[in-house]
Structure 1
Amino acid sequence: MDALFTPLAGALGASVDQVKLIVCLLIAYPLGSVFIRIPSSRPELKHLFNVGITLLFFFPVLQLYTEFFQLLASVLATYVLARYHHGSQMPWIVFVIVMGHLTVNHVIRAVYQYSYEKLEVTGPQMVLTMKLTTFAWNVYDGRRPAADLDKWQTAKRVTKFPTLLEFLGYSFYFPGMLVGPYLDYADYTDLINETVFKKLEIKGKKGRNVPVGRKRVAYRKMLEGLMYLGVFVTLGSTWNYGISLTPWFAEKGFFTRVAVYQICGVFERSKYYAIWTLTEGASILTGLGFTGIGPSGETLWNGAANVKVLVIEFPENFKVLLDAWNMKTNVWLRECVYKRVTPAGKKPGFRSSMITFATSAFWHGIALGYYLTFLTGGFITTIGRLARANIRPLVLGAPGTPPTLAKRAYDIAGTVISILLLNYAASPFMLLSAKASFWTWWQLGFYGHGIIGVSMAFFYLGGARWCKSLQYKQAGKLTRGISMVGTPVEEKQLMVPPSLDQIVPPQK
């Protein structure tokens, strides 16, 4: 079938594999409309449809024959282990096997020096790794007492083990097979059985349970994805992080280099916006992602989103930015790594954060650039948490009052610093090699490390203690004001408030 794609690739100036990937993502749209028309009373047909379309993608279109059987091996190994191993180590065994298999293929990719333009097994395998390891934890949680589980674990636990056909349908769910989004098994069964739609007790067209508005949202996502793709094709090939390695960049002044790098970051990210938005739309057409009815009676389809573009480009802080980027992967890392490596009865801290960032780097590949990015990201997350705990309460006004001038300045500073740190920390992720990464950071004056170093020195060398004392003084003044119009408050209570949150509730 390459004869069909080669002329199109030449016209667009892209590789044949890139064109094939986009074509598969677009084909998933009409196929999604076919999928949702299969009645929920015939779930086996929906499972077979998922497997059949995935085979269509991998065999005649992408020509990834052995790659598919590699993925099938991981699926079957997970199925057998989760079904017959009832010990507490089962999820970790699955994690090691599936991640180990992925890492082997990452090594092969590095040895053969495959470029991003070549489509091979690691992309789909990264998505499948999230699915399989999440499933293992869901099965493990289904065997634990309900009292030991948190809200997410209770909602996602698997108490009835699936048949092999059900598990294959889940593993090879076609809209998200190549680049995501990944979904957990509970969401998949709800999709197959149309559980969420049936709870609404409303009827869509022709008496079906599916509410209206799905196609409108889905095809709008398709247009958005194609727009981002056009931006990347026309501008991303020139304005990207690799510009830091050119003589032109080195000749510019420091502030010009920093400004240009922020612009390049937007175009660098556009390719991810494109593929994730395209797959979101195709998933919506299958019925995935329904989140309820809006205030005006419109249907909402936000559950399949993997990225929030405006939040990323204009974030309030770095935490908000991370939560809006690769959202499904964030859920996986939080629920299957961050919480699981934290000892029972303790809150996750710096150790859990660094293990989680290391896992994310390991999942992405073996290039040193990944580890530089996520190691830096761990420190950025730490200083962000310290700032929210120590500085942010000082600029909040009284409950119910408009944001103070200090709060507005804090938010603007948070947006600017978050974008600066994002483009600084993300550059090794795209440049991959340590040499290119450190050269880029040198060209940027190591400003990101400067921000991190100054911030950590401030908080750990007395700044946090000083901020806390100001918080107590501020809270005490507020309490005195309340006591003047309410019941008297003893002086001892004013000196050390029992809880700052009781006096100044968290505000946005």
Structure 2
Amino acid sequence: MDALFAPLAGLVGASVDQVKLIFCLLVAFPLGSLYIRIPSSNPNARHLFSIAVALFFFIPVLDIPGAFVQLLADMLFTYTMARYNTSPSMPWVVFWVVMGHLTANHVIRAVYNLSYETIEVTGPQMVLVMKLTTFAWNVRDGREKPEDLDKWQLARRVVDYPSLTAFLGYALYFPGVLVGPYLDFSEYNDLVTDALFKGVQVAPGHRRLPSGRKRVAYRRLIKGLVCLGLFVVLGGTYNFSATLEPWFINMSFWQRLVLFQICGFFERCKYYAIWTLTEGASIVTGFGFTGFNEKGKSTWHGAANIRIRRVELAENFKVLLDNWNIKTNIWLKECVYKRVTPKGQKAGFKSGIITSATSAFWHGVRSGYYLTFLLGAFITPLGRLMRTNVRPLLLPAPGAPPSLAKRVYDVSGRLASQVLVNYAAAPFMLLTVSASVHCWNQVAWYGHVLVGGGLVFFYAGGARYCKRLQAKRGSAQAATGTTTPVQAYAVPAALEKVFPPHA
């Protein structure tokens, strides 16, 4: 089918593979409307519909039948292993086999130096690894005593083993089969049987579907297309690869610094586009329903993998990460972080290291990925130190408006989050150590200066100094019965004219 997509690819300046991927994401919307019309009383028909659409995507459209065969092998292995292996180690066997297979394909991709524009097995396989490992743990939880499980495990455990058709329908759920969103089997089963909409009131003779589904889904479609348009029109020029070009190097430092932030935004636009489009297509099928808001309108947050506004306006790095690649964060927490922590013990440094290593290998084997994750491992504790030591000094008295210092702190947190995520993400897109070092050199290593300087400050006595200030403030509160005015820690009064404290 390449001949159908080649003219459009030439028109927009994208690869044929990219155009075919976007076609699959867009055609999932009308296919989702057909899917939801299949009666929930016939779940096998819904399973087979997902399987058929996935086959359509992989074979005639994307023309990667070999990739589909590899994915099918992982599915059949997991289904058989989870069914017949009743030992406690079963989920880890599944994990090592499917992760090992993914890593081998990542190595092949790196050896052949395939760009992100080339669609092959690793993209869909990354999503499938999350599904299969989660399914294995859900089955294991279904064999445990309920009192030994936490809330998430209890809600998602698999007690009645599914048929092969149901399992394949889950693994090949078509809106997310290529790039996500990932979902666990209980969520998929609730979708197929309409149990997700239990309690929704509808008129007699109508399908049990909350109103507003299409409105929300097609808003996601429009948002995704806007992000895609920004990436197509401007992302070709404003991306991290530009930092390697002579025209970028010949700019002044401040021009490079500003342009570097712009490049970071347009690099993110492609993720915003594909994740928002797949979220919308999932909502069309009914997935993602999370109840009703205070105005009685249906809400659909369950399929979200990205919250764009919260990423772009995050007040700190933790908030930014919590709203980026949401489904992967859930998988890492529930299927790695909590599982490597011995029962009855609190997760510690070892659990964090194992989880970070899993995330790195899951993403790939390019050296740039590891530079990103390594730097991120230092940014996170720096943010924690800021919130623990500095933020309490700037909090206003109960009922009082935020002081100028607190507003400056909040704005600084948002600015720092953006400049640091752009700096840390550059190697992830540039892929190699040499390109990453060259890029960081063009922006004077500002990320390392900010992070390294902050950590040195706190560990060299800054944390103790902040604690003393907090203790002094607490003593003043105890003596007067009030909260010490934050203005004592504010910026010079001359700036109050620019930033009125009660604005």
TM-score by length of 1: 0.92
Q: Measured at CA, do residues 401 and 483 of structure 1 come closer, stay the same or move farther in structure 2, by a change above 3 Å? A: closer
What residue number does 2:282 align with?
283
C-alpha separation in 2, matches of 1:296 and 1:218? 19
Measured against aligned partners, the alpha-carbon deviations of 1:144-203 in whole angstroms (never above 9, x if no partner) come to: 222232222222222222121111111000000001111111111111111121223x11
C-alpha separation in 1, matches of 2:192 and 2:265? 37
* Counterpart amino acid of residue 269 in structure 2: S
* Counterpart amino acid of residue 401 in structure 1: A
* Counterpart amino acid of residue 465 in structure 1: R
Query: Is residue 2:422 matched to residue 1:438?
Result: no
By how many angstroms is 1:114 displaced? 1.4
* Counterpart amino acid of residue 342 in structure 1: T
What residue number does 1:162 align with?
162
By how many angstroms is 1:205 displaced? 9.1
1:325-340 to 2 correspondence within 5 Å?
A: 325-340=324-339
What residue number does 2:34 align with?
34
By how many angstroms is 1:347 displaced? 3.2
* Counterpart amino acid of residue 15 in structure 1: S
* Counterpart amino acid of residue 142 in structure 1: G
Secondary structure at the counterpart of residue 198 of structure 2: helix
* Counterpart amino acid of residue 22 in structure 1: I
Mean Cα deviation higher: 472-481 or 149-158: 472-481
1:331-350 to 2 correspondence within 5 Å?
A: 331-350=330-349
By how many angstroms is 1:476 displaced? 4.1
1:297-308 to 2 correspondence within 5 Å?
A: 297-308=296-307
C-alpha separation in 2, matches of 1:205 and 1:114? 54
By how many angstroms is 1:482 displaced? 4.7
What residue number does 2:147 align with?
147
Query: Is residue 2:449 matched to residue 1:453?
Result: no
Residue segments in structure 1 that go unaligned for 5+ positions in a row: 485-508
Measured against aligned partners, the alpha-carbon deviations of 1:218-261 in whole angstroms (never above 9, x if no partner) come to: 11111111111111111000000011101112122222211110
By how many angstroms is 1:86 displaced? 2.1
Asked whether the 8 Å contact 1:9–1:16 carries over to 2, the reply is yes
What residue number does 2:394 align with?
395
Q: Measured at CA, do residues 8 and 432 of structure 1 come closer, stay the same or move farther in structure 2, by a change above 3 Å? A: same
* Counterpart amino acid of residue 129 in structure 1: V
By how many angstroms is 1:368 displaced? 0.1
What residue number does 1:487 align with?
none
Q: Measured at CA, do residues 477 and 340 of structure 1 come closer, stay the same or move farther in structure 2, by a change above 3 Å? A: farther
C-alpha separation in 2, matches of 1:278 and 1:329? 17
Secondary structure at the counterpart of residue 199 of structure 2: helix
1:117-132 to 2 correspondence within 5 Å?
A: 117-132=117-132
By how many angstroms is 1:105 displaced? 0.8
What residue number does 1:208 align with?
207
C-alpha separation in 1, matches of 2:222 and 2:11? 20
* Counterpart amino acid of residue 276 in structure 1: W
Secondary structure at the counterpart of residue 401 of structure 1: coil
What residue number does 1:199 align with?
199
Secondary structure at the counterpart of residue 135 of structure 2: helix
What residue number does 1:82 align with?
82
* Counterpart amino acid of residue 135 in structure 2: F
Equivalenced residues, count: 483
By how many angstroms is 1:60 displaced? 1.2
Q: Measured at CA, do residues 293 and 143 of structure 1 come closer, stay the same or move farther in structure 2, by a change above 3 Å? A: same
C-alpha separation in 2, matches of 1:265 and 1:478? 44
By how many angstroms is 1:483 displaced? 9.4
1:273-422 to 2 correspondence within 5 Å?
A: 273-422=272-421
By how many angstroms is 1:54 displaced? 0.5
* Counterpart amino acid of residue 216 in structure 2: V
CA RMSD of aligned residues (A): 1.8
By how many angstroms is 1:206 displaced? 5.2
Secondary structure at the counterpart of residue 420 of structure 1: helix
What residue number does 2:51 align with?
51
* Counterpart amino acid of residue 216 in structure 1: R
C-alpha separation in 1, matches of 2:46 and 2:129? 22
C-alpha separation in 2, matches of 1:392 and 1:155? 36
Secondary structure at the counterpart of residue 293 of structure 1: coil
C-alpha separation in 2, matches of 1:426 and 1:352? 23
C-alpha separation in 2, matches of 1:268 and 1:33? 31
Query: Is residue 2:469 matched to residue 1:475?
Result: no
C-alpha separation in 2, matches of 1:149 and 1:471? 39
C-alpha separation in 1, matches of 2:127 and 2:3? 29
* Counterpart amino acid of residue 102 in structure 1: L
Q: Measured at CA, do residues 151 and 391 of structure 1 come closer, stay the same or move farther in structure 2, by a change above 3 Å? A: farther
* Counterpart amino acid of residue 226 in structure 1: L
By how many angstroms is 1:435 displaced? 0.3
Asked whether the 8 Å contact 1:218–1:284 carries over to 2, the reply is yes
1:216-227 to 2 correspondence within 5 Å?
A: 216-227=215-226
* Counterpart amino acid of residue 164 in structure 1: L
By how many angstroms is 1:358 displaced? 2.2
Measured against aligned partners, the alpha-carbon deviations of 1:56-102 in whole angstroms (never above 9, x if no partner) come to: 11111111111101001111111112112222222111111111000
Q: Measured at CA, do residues 415 and 146 of structure 1 come closer, stay the same or move farther in structure 2, by a change above 3 Å? A: same
Q: Measured at CA, do residues 204 and 419 of structure 1 come closer, stay the same or move farther in structure 2, by a change above 3 Å? A: farther
What residue number does 2:108 align with?
108
C-alpha separation in 2, matches of 1:409 and 1:208? 52
Instruction: State, as a whole percentage, how many aligned pairs show the same letter.
Output: 60
What residue number does 2:60 align with?
60
What residue number does 1:136 align with?
136
* Counterpart amino acid of residue 107 in structure 1: V
C-alpha separation in 1, matches of 2:456 and 2:87? 45
By how many angstroms is 1:465 displaced? 2.8
Q: Measured at CA, do residues 148 and 465 of structure 1 come closer, stay the same or move farther in structure 2, by a change above 3 Å? A: farther
Q: Measured at CA, do residues 9 and 206 of structure 1 come closer, stay the same or move farther in structure 2, by a change above 3 Å? A: farther
